[in-house]
Amino acid sequence: MSLKSFIATIDSFFRKKDSDMDFESRNLARLVKVGEEYGELCKDVLQYVRAHKKNDRERMEALRPNMEEEFADMIITIHMLAKSMEVDINTVVQAKMPKVQQKLGITKSE
């Protein structure tokens, strides 16, 4: 299943489950969820960085799976909020790429 169809499936599930939620309530709830996932990702990244600084490979290995899950959760929740706001992530990222390239002085071939 592609990420796009996965997000559509989850969005459909929550729209049915939360059918009493209006546009504002649904999007505020999703925004709060993004914040929650961001906090969890920050916590895991900081723990991993501390372990890396101490060259604690065993701890880094133990922390990595959860950190990876938090990255996935963050991406999924961002996509869910974007879908709910009728923003196509792929389109807006493609549109933003030239601006970032120009800002960083990166040519398209790099």
The confidence band for 19, taking pLDDT boundaries of 50, 70 and 90, is: confident
- Residue 33: what pLDDT? 96
Out of 1.10.287.1080, 3.40.50.1360, 1.10.1060.10, 1.10.287.1260, select the CATH number for domain 3-104. 1.10.287.1080
One-letter amino acid for residue 91 of the chain: T
- Residue 91: what pLDDT? 94
- Structural domain spans, the chain: 3-104
Residue 94 three-state SS: helix
- Residue 66: what pLDDT? 97
Q: Which residues have a Cβ under 8 Å from the Cβ of 76 and sit 6 or more positions away? A: 6, 7, 10
- pTM equals 0.84
Kindly state the tokens that stand for 55.
Answer: 């060259």
Over residues 4-31, the mean pLDDT reads: 89
